[in-house]
Amino acid sequence: MAVLKLNDRVLDILTSARSVVSQLDLDKALALVLKKAMDVTNTTAGSIALYSPATATMRIAASKGFSRQFLSSREWTVRRGGLTDRILKTRCVTVINDTTNASFFSDSLAAREGVKSLVCVPLIFSQDIVGILYVDDFTQRTFSPSIVQSLEILASFASVAIHNARTHTAMKHQANTDSLTGLFNRRCFESIIGRELMRAERHGREFSLALVDVDDFKKFNDAHGHQAGDAALAALGESIRSAIRSTDLASRYGGDEMAIILPETNLAKAYNLFANRIRYGIEEGFSRLTGGRYSLSVTIGIASYPLDGINARDLVLAADRALLATKKKKHTRKIGCSRRIPESLIVAP
C-alpha cells in the first residue's frame, strides 16, 4: 500500500511536470512549480529564487505565503557561509526541521517572518545551478524522505522549464531586435505602432512618433570606415535606450534612422521632452560611449496621433516631412514638428 501511495504521488508530480515543461512563460511556469511543491509538502509558504552567477545574487521570481515586508528584499547577495552559499556549494537538498538548531541558518529576515522549518532544493540544468526552490513552514516539522524525493523530481522538471522559458524569451527577443543597435527592428515597429493605434483609438488618447536621423552619417562612414559606422550605430542604439523614458519604445526604422513611439504624449509634450532632455541625452550618451572619439548630432521630426494621421503610414510621413523641413532650414535645435506649437506650451531648457 505504501508503494502504491508513493507511485501515485510520483505519477501526480509527473502529470504536473508535463504542464510545467510545456509552459514557455517563465512566471507561469514558476508559479505552477511552487504551487505543486507546496501542495506536495503541505506547507504554508514557499518561493523560487533564480541565481545569477555573474553577480552572485539571488532574486525571488515566485513566492506565496510571505508578508510584504519579507518580499521587499526580493534580491540579495549570496553571503559566504550562509544557507544559500551552502546549497550552491553542496548542490544538495537541504532539509531544516528546526531553524533554531541550524548553525548556518542566520537569516534574520526569515527569522522575523517566523520560518521554523524548510526544504531547499537546488535547481540544476546541465550542471549549472539556475535557482533554488524553497518550501517553508511556520512550525517545526519533519519532512519525510518520500516528500523530499517528490521535491527533487519536481525540481528537475522545474530546471528544464526555466531553461525552456529563457530560451524561448531569448529567441523571441532576437526575432524582434535589430542585431546592430539593440533596438526593436522594423517588423516589430510596425506591430507596436499598430497596437498603439488601436489602443489610442479605443481609449481616445494621443501619442507621438519621433523619427531620429543621424546628421551626415554617410560622411562619417566615408571618413572612419564602415566598421566604425557599425560601432557608431550600436552606440547610438544604446544612447537612445538610456535617454528615452521607460514607457517609450525605440526601433531601428532603416539605415541610420530610428523611430521612437511616445505613448500618452501629445505633440507639445513630445517636443519639450526632446528639446530639453532626450536629444541632449542621445548625443551626450553617444559621445560618452565612444570614449569621446566621435561626436554625432541628430535631427528629429515629430508627429502625433490623431491630428497628423490615424494610421501608421500617415504618421510616419508627417514625422518624416517635419524632419526633412528641419534639415533644410537648419534649425539650431534640430527638432521639427508636424504642426506649429504655441509658444505658451514650449518649456524653455
pLDDT reported for residue 290: 79
What's the rounded Cα separation, in Å, for the pair 196 and 249?
Answer: 11
Sheet containing strand 335-337, edge to edge, reads 249-254, 257-263, 207-214, 298-305, 335-337
pLDDT reported for residue 251: 95
What's the rounded Cα separation, in Å, for the pair 17 and 327?
Answer: 59
Q: Which residues have CB under 8 Å from 256's CB, separation 6+?
A: 213, 214, 217, 233, 236
pLDDT reported for residue 4: 41
**CATH 3.30.450.40 domain residues, the chain:** 2-176
pLDDT reported for residue 264: 93
Q: What are phi and psi of 276, to 5 degrees?
A: -105, -15
pTM as predicted: 0.61
Q: What is the mean pLDDT of each run of 10 residues along the chain (349 residues)?
A: 52 63 76 90 94 92 91 87 90 91 72 90 92 95 90 88 81 82 93 94 94 90 86 90 92 94 95 91 85 84 96 96 89 85 78
**Taking CA 165 as the corner, what is the angle to CA 160 and CA 169, rounded to the nearest 5 degrees?**
150
Mapped onto helix, strand or coil, the DSSP state of residue 336 is strand
What's the rounded Cα separation, in Å, for the pair 161 and 215?
Answer: 47
With beta carbons less than 8 A apart as the criterion, state whether 180 and 233 touch.
Answer: yes
**CATH 3.30.70.270 domain residues, the chain:** 186-345
What's the rounded Cα separation, in Å, for the pair 126 and 159?
Answer: 9
What's the rounded Cα separation, in Å, for the pair 348 and 333?
Answer: 12
Topology given in CATH for the domain delimited by 186-345: Alpha-Beta Plaits (3.30.70)
Omega of the bond prior to 306 within 30 degrees of 0, cis? yes
Active-site hit among 137, 213, 256, 308: 256
Instruction: Mark whether 256 is an active-site residue.
Output: yes
The CATH code of the domain at 2-176 is 3.30.450.40
- Tell me, rounded to whole angstroms, the distance of Cα 135 from its chain centroid: 26
Instruction: Dig out the grid coordinates for 57 from the structure.
Output: 545574487
